[in-house]
Amino acid sequence: MEQEPTINRIPALDGWRGIAILLVLIDHIEHAVLHRYAMPWMQTGQHGVTIFFVLSGFLITAKLLEGPIHLGQFYLRRLFRLMPVAWTYLAAMLLFDGLMHTHFTSSAEVRACLFFYRNFAGGADGGASGHFWSLSLEEQFYLVWPVLLLLAGVRRTRWIAVALTLACATYRWLFWAWYDRNVWNGQTQVRCDALLVGCLLAFLLAEPRFLTAARRWANRLAVPALATLVFCIVRFHWLAPLYECVAITVLLAASILYPQTVFAQLLSLKPLAWLGTISYSIYVWQALFMLPWSSAVRSWLFCVALPLFAIASYYWIEKPSTRFGRRLTEAPVSVRGANNFLLGNSRRRHSDASLPIQQK
């Protein structure tokens, strides 16, 4: 059995995940525990999710560009990476409802989560599964994007990504008032540009001819991009404009291309990187304290139960199932190379300028 090439881990990207989950938690703690927003003009959760989207688009595309694309292998790994934690959480909520005769979730909501259309099935404040809107959107991306890249090739897919990004941003701009008044804005056509901008960054960094320009401009634009991101967090409560996604992308590029800078070193701090490592389990289980408990119970859930559930979920469910998925999908060279010709001349060529990209 052929072993996968070693993928170096970039701690700064885990740091970005740590920042993203902190933004989500700050928002939810204010709402659920304090029953108020300490800064009502700034609600950070949606911006944290936007960071997650940009990261997902970037990491998945970077991994696919290493080639060859084996769809069965990709989907099995995604399945074992994400679903065990999600299924465990949903089963726990259904079990709790059955035992305690509560109505924290419903079979219809669980069905929407299982079949990845939760972002079209009601608001993010809908019971114990409302936060699955973002997971559903990402799963839709995982289902479509590898197939598109495989069939269209890298060059065409780059232009498709540009067109779809602009189409999504234009649609959101045209209907901004509607989606800004209605808190529920997680539908795919409203938010998918964040994923696509991350994909475009991966295309950019995979091409040596673009990499030199990326190094130069990422360094020059890092400070303006950071200022833009802060402005967007302060200014936009529910919707993230396209230029926020671009600012996040510039900052990601700067932290990857210049790991020696103070900014990248701060992102690489072990506590923040570790928080990012377990961020998926935190995100899934943090909805526990968003449920209609009493204030005392919510505070206890956040301070004690959430850390314990997230850590146990990561080390006992997420990490073992991810490892199992990798072992299960190891394949002989002849099988893994069967679709290599579909990428043609667009397949990524590794060089000294190639970047070590973290596998998500």
High-pLDDT (> 90) share of the chain, %: 64
- When pLDDT is averaged across residues 18-25 and rounded to a whole number, the result is 95
Q: Name every residue whose Cβ is closer than 8 Å to that of residue 2 and which is 6 or more positions away in sequence.
A: 330, 331, 332, 333, 336
What is the spatial distance between Cα 360 and Cα 269, in angstroms, rounded to a whole number?
A: 19
Q: Which residues have CB under 8 Å from 129's CB, separation 6+?
A: 90, 93, 105, 109, 110, 112, 113, 118, 287
Where along the chain do its domains lie?
11-331
Q: Residue 106 in contact with residue 45, Cβ under 8 Å?
A: no
Which distant-in-sequence residues (6+ apart) come within 8 Å of 333 by Cβ? 2
Residue 286: is its pLDDT beyond 60? yes
Residue listed under structure tokens 């056509």 = 189
State the DSSP H helix or E strand holding residue 267, giving kind and residue range, or none if neither. helix 262-267
Query: Which of 167, 166, 177 lies closest to 239 in space, CA to CA?
Result: 177
pLDDT tens digit sequence for 194-243: 999 999 999 999 988 888 888 888 989 999 999 999 999 999 988 999 99
What is the residue-wise DSSP string for 290-330?
GSS--HHHHHHIIIIIHHHHHHHHIIIIIHHHHHHHHHHT-
pLDDT of residue 62: 95
Residue-wise pLDDT for 126-179, tens only, equals 678 999 999 999 999 999 999 999 999 999 999 999 999 999 999 999 999 888
* pLDDT at residue 39 in the model: 58
Residue 309 has pLDDT above 90, yes or no: yes
Can you say how many angstroms the Cα of residue 191 is from the centroid of all Cα atoms in its chain?
12
Q: What is the mean pLDDT of the chain?
A: 85
Does residue 252 have a pLDDT over 90? yes
Cβ(127)–Cβ(105) below 8 Å: yes
The rounded radius of gyration (Å) of the Cα atoms in the chain is 20
Structure tokens of 261? 């800078």
Rounded alpha-carbon distances, angstroms, from residue 250 to 247, 260, 283, 334: 5, 16, 25, 38
The pLDDT of residue 353 is 34
Q: Is the pLDDT of residue 8 over 70?
A: no
Q: How confident is the model at residue 35 (pLDDT cuts 50, 70, 90)?
A: low
| Cβ atoms 253, 214 nearer than 8 A | yes
**How would residue 14 be classed by pLDDT, with cut points 50, 70 and 90?**
very high
Query: What per-residue confidence (pLDDT) applies to 32?
Result: 67
pLDDT at position 34 is 65
pLDDT of residue 346: 41
- 173-179 CB contacts, 8 Å cutoff, 24+ apart: 173/241, 176/239, 179/238, 179/239
Q: What is the DSSP letter of 35?
A: S
| Amino acid (1-letter code) at residue 335 | V
Q: Report pLDDT for 183.
A: 65
With a cut of 70, say whether residue 36 has pLDDT above it: no
Structure tokens at 93: 């909520």
